[in-house]
Amino acid sequence: MSRAMAKRVHRALDDENLQTALTRLLGLIKFVRQIAFADLDFDYLSREIRRIKEDSIANLPELVEQFKSEATKAGAIVYEAEDDDDARKYISTVAKEYGVKNIVKSKSMLGEEIGLREHLEKAGIRVTETDIGEWIVQLAGERPAHLVGPAVHKTMEQVTELISKATGQQLGTEPQAVLDAVRAALRQAYITADMGISGANIAIAETGTLVIVTNEGNGCMSTTMPPVHLAVVGYEKIVPAWKDAAAIFRLLSRCTAGMKMPVYVSHITGPSRTDAIPGPVLRGAGGPGEVHIVLVDNGRWQMRGTDEFREALYCIKCGACLNVCPVFASVAGQTYGYIYQGGIGAILTAFLHDVTQAEDVASLCLGCMACKAACPARIDIPRMVTQLKASLAEEKGLPFFKRIAYRRILRKPSTMDGLIKFGTYLQKPFIDNDLTIRGIPVFLNAITKTISLPPLARVPLPARLKDYSSPKPTGKPKVALYSGCIGSYLYPEVGEHVVKILSESGTEPYYPTGQACCGAPAYFAGDFEAALSLAKINIAALEEMKPDYIVTVCPGCAGVLKREYLNLTTSDPRWNQRARGVANRIRDFSQLLLELNSSRRTKPTRNLKVTYHDPCHLKRGTGIFTEPRTLLQQEGFELVEMADSDTCCGFGGHVVLSYPELSQSILKRKLDNIEATGVQIVVTNCLPCVLQIRGGLDKRRSQIKVMHTAELLATGFTRSM
Amino acid sequence: MGTQVSELIVQFKDEAAKAGAVLHEVTRVEDIRDCVLKLAQERSVKSAVKSNSKLADEIDLREHLENAGVEVKEADFKQWLAQLAGNKKTERESIEQVAKLISVASGQDLDPDPQVLLSAANRSIKQYCIDADMGISEAGAAIAETGTLVILGNEGVSRLVAVLPRIHITLLKAQDIVPLMEDVFIKFKIRAGNETGQVVPSYVTYIAGRNTTADIPGAVLSRAQGPAEEHVVIVNKSAVGDVS
């Protein structure tokens, strides 16, 4: 994380205009999205898009040849540019050849990627962005804040001022009057332009066709009014056939703006033509006589060559991932510092722009997986972000402190215990009477401004469960408890509750000694070596007593134990086999309880309302979200759903440490949603979520209690039955 | 008309209306005339441009509007030449005759050079599109799934007529409504040129309802850069009457 990034995050969070406008925009998109997806099988259609993109990228060399040949046959001129510099130079040469003075441009991310507008402006050409939002941003000399609302951060007063200045009139702040002035000005720009520049949402190989989508109508006008049309197209936009384009359209606008279809979709095949005038067919009839297509590589072929990052090329630039990203909802587009934003932006930035900037973008990722679930091309963005961080860590080496932490301390439970003990002395002066830390002067002080912290337990879980180090030979199912760091040192009572409930539920719970940190901090920072060594320690500790199940209280740890250990051990078949044995036995607490008591009778209503928060790694990581709810209802609780129950609480990734204010802004929305339910208890199945939400509610002086399901079931509320 | 077709019409109307289009339904092709004229008169339309439409030509829509005082310019190049020549149908003229027609229309003395004539025609026709209050198109197909109109053409005017004037009217035959986007390609046999010898039109333009923008703070405003009104006149022989 760079200082510049931290500064931009602050600026965005402090910008009240932006915050209000962004909330409104994203709320609107979410609302219309629900309607647009109501009659649709997202799963089926996204599989279809995935298949089309996989095939297209796999067969790209052939498709490029076909596209070039068909487009040329239709009368277009195709140029292949190696990189941004090549593309810029070629385009300015073309512009010069036609003596171009005025250009109208419709939205193109690739255009921004290669700095096209700035380059042409430097060459003395006047370039007008024709999307209204883009034009406002251009007039302000800024970058777009959002794909759908590029100028969403601007107030009416600011927009009025910009448009007044640009059109030389004194406009009032009446939106309709401003829009009329904008339309008139842009109309004039189309009329005087001698070249129109566009991108392409899709390029169709079978006919050499460009497909361009707009809602305002600017795409149609900027590609039809001027005598020359030039399109910049990334290679990844090519698909084989018209029907593939249709499949993509079925989701594209729904994902972008919650619309079934864009208002205007243009399929352009070569220049306009007419046979009205005697003689041969003439080009340039009420439309451009020349169509230039510039195919741009700029790192795309290199990306295609990697196994880890190829799928980033499946991106159809719909922005669905940004619409659901909790970080984006807090900071918006300009904060990322480059045109490609969010998790996918980190990957694209790394290959198409600059690795250092990519690291900055990646540092904003919570790892909450909301993007992955929303992606119409089913791109595993969180996996790539982790991989990117790993590659960068490998290249540069981890910072010294992290290296020490991951490789020495976390690896050895005894060292960890010793350190924790030391910590319990240090923290003493800061613990309030109710065992909560509300402020630490130095270390972690930024965090305690946001959330109150639990103190390190004086007696950690391993010591508390000394008597449970092995299962008694009772013949009941053996359940190993894996507690994770937070479960061991911050909330040891939850582990005790788990053991209590499991004993009551006819199992033989025990706490395997020798278990260590799951390795998530190392793994997600890209230190695979340290993560592997922790994996081996835990696999050995967990398999030792041959448990029937391994129960976890932290879905983050569970995910690492279940999936990443398999990834980490792929090159070692024996360890991989053992990792599989562990993975198969992993259960979430609620999941296990339901599995054990599948025929359990529903308990009488307790007249107690609770709301449930879905931990990211439990819902999207493991697909568990009905089980905790079913269990709560079986236990007789009345479940009141909060809005966005599956949106991250803000604890994910390193965001909580690197950008505490950002984490707080995400947490704020969660707490607001919780308070809006009016219930007094929030239940969740993840201890880091408990830490974050409990800490946040405490800062609000809220009376609402936050509990792990095990805690709720084990305390007086419920065991009366 | 089969149930399936009437279901498609209902779905199309429903989706197009949701996207902001205004639907009109007539039972006889002749009824298009009064429907369009009424729309024009209610909106004080003085001038209109019209792109290629067999439906409109069948019922002399241009003449009908002109008789009622609305100036109508043909934007399709061939149709325009016919209009200039005072012909009902497009006829093969010689280059000299074409030069004469365009010279008169543009007020210049033009050589019978195809490029010169094309440039002059372009200037005139584009200006008509810029100045017109109303654009009249015919959809080659419409998609029930999304309420989308499909307008095909090799000339850019097929698009300019649809986006530049403040009112756009699209004529549509009910039987041209297809269920899905993919059916459009089947209908027009759009596939690789070398397989069928079929040439893909330069422009296939899909229009779903009325254009809007949310880029001006505070409101979602209709009429971003295209027309303020998007009308569809469906000729549906089984319909009861104008439902608008």
B91-116 pLDDT, tens digit each: 778 999 999 999 999 999 999 999 99
Q: Is residue A326 less than 8 Å (CB to CB) from chain B?
A: no
Partner B contacted by A196 (CB < 8 A): no
Predicted confidence at residue A395, as pLDDT, reads 74
The pLDDT > 70 percentage for chain B reads: 92
Q: Which amino acid is at A460?
A: P
pLDDT in tens, B13-60: 999 999 999 999 999 999 999 999 999 999 999 999 999 999 999 999
In this prediction, residue B193 carries a pLDDT of 46
State the count of interchain CB pairs (< 8 A) between A and B.
225
Q: What is the pTM of this model?
A: 0.91
Res B5: pLDDT: 81
**Is the CB of A133 inside 8 Å of chain B's CB atoms?**
yes
- Which one has a higher pLDDT value, A592 or A435? A592
* Spacing of C-alpha A193 from chain mean position: 39
Helix A626-634 × helix A589-596 angle, to 10°:
60
Nearest to A224 among B78, B156, B190 (CB): B156
Side-chain-facing half-sphere of A552: CA atoms under 13 Å: 29
CA angle at A549 for the pair A543 and A553, rounded to the nearest 5°: 100
- What integer pLDDT is reported at residue A716 of this predicted model? 59
Whether residue A267 and residue B204 make contact (CB cut-off 8 A), yes or no, is: yes
Mean pLDDT over the full length of chain B: 91
List pLDDT tens digits, range A241-283: 999 999 998 899 888 888 888 999 999 999 999 999 999 999 9
Q: Give the pLDDT of residue A670.
A: 97
What pLDDT, on the 0 to 100 scale, is given for residue A412? 63
Chain A 50-79, residues with CB within 8 Å of chain B CB atoms: 70, 73-74
Ramachandran class of B192: left when φ > 0, alpha when ψ lies in -120 to 50, beta otherwise: beta
- Tens of pLDDT, residue by residue over A277-308, are 999 999 999 999 999 999 999 999 999 999 99
> Which of B76, B126, B211 is facing A263, going by the closest CB pair?
B211
Read off the pLDDT band of A161 (50, 70, 90): very high
pLDDT tens per residue across span A664-695? 999 999 999 999 999 999 999 999 999 999 99
Q: CA geometry: angle at A464 spanning A461 and A467, to 5°?
A: 120
Residue B196 scores a pLDDT above 70: no
Nearest alpha-carbon partner for B216 in B208, B225, B229, B207: B225
Subunit contact B205:A186, Cβ cutoff 8 A: no
Query: What pLDDT does A92 receive?
Result: 97
pLDDT band at B192 (very low <50, low <70, confident <90, very high): very low
Q: A294's torsion region: left (phi>0), alpha (psi -120 to 50) or beta? A: beta
What is the token pair recorded at A375? 């992606």
Stretch among A500-509, A708-717, B178-187 having the lowest mean pLDDT: A708-717
pLDDT exceeds cutoff 90 at A437: no
What does the alpha-carbon distance between residue A21 and residue A155 come to, in Å, rounded to a whole number?
Answer: 9
B223 contacts on A by Cβ (under 8 Å): 179, 183
CA dist A508 and A467 (Å) reads: 13
Can you tell me the distance from the alpha carbon of A365 to that of A659, in angstroms, rounded to the nearest whole number? 11
In chain A, the residue whose alpha carbon lies closest to the alpha carbon of B215 is A133
Token pair recorded at residue A672:
């607001």
Confidence (pLDDT) at A241: 94
* Contact flag B203-A272 (C-beta cutoff 8 Å): yes
- Residue B187's pLDDT is 83
Across A495-509, average pLDDT: 93
Would you call A276 and B125 a contact, using CB atoms and an 8 Å cutoff?
Answer: no
Burial class from Cβ neighbours inside 10 Å (0-12, 13-18, 19+) for residue A109 reads middle
**The predicted structure's pLDDT at residue B139:** 97
Model confidence at A720, pLDDT cuts 50, 70, 90, reads very low
Average pLDDT (A129-136) is: 96
Sorting pLDDT into bands at 50, 70 and 90, what band is B178?
A: very high
Q: Strands, DSSP E only, in B62-146?
A: 71-74, 134-138, 141-143
Convert the pLDDT of each residue in B130-160 to its tens digit: 999 999 999 999 999 999 999 999 999 999 9
Check residue A147 and report its DSSP letter. S
The 10s digit of each residue's pLDDT in A14-29 is: 998 889 888 888 888 8
Share of chain A above pLDDT 90, in %: 73
> What is the pLDDT of chain A when averaged over all its residues?
90
Provide, as residue numbers in chain B, all residues whose Cβ is less than 8 Å from the Cβ of A274.
Answer: 77-78, 118, 154-155
Q: What are the φ and ψ backbone dihedral angles of B65, each rounded to 5 degrees?
A: -70, -40
Using CB atoms, pick whichever of B81, B130, B156 lies closest to residue A276: B81
Residues A304-321, mean pLDDT to the nearest whole number: 94
| Contact status of A209 with chain B (Cβ, < 8 Å) | yes
Split at pLDDT 50, 70, 90, the class of A322 is: very high
- Residues of B with Cβ-Cβ distance to A279 under 8 angstroms: 95, 114
- Residue A318's SS3 state is coil
CB–CB contact A221 B78 (8 Å): no
Q: What percent of chain A has pLDDT over 70?
A: 92
Verify whether the Cβ–Cβ distance B19 to A191 is below 8 Å.
no
Q: What is chain A's alpha carbon radius of gyration, rounded to the nearest angstrom?
A: 29
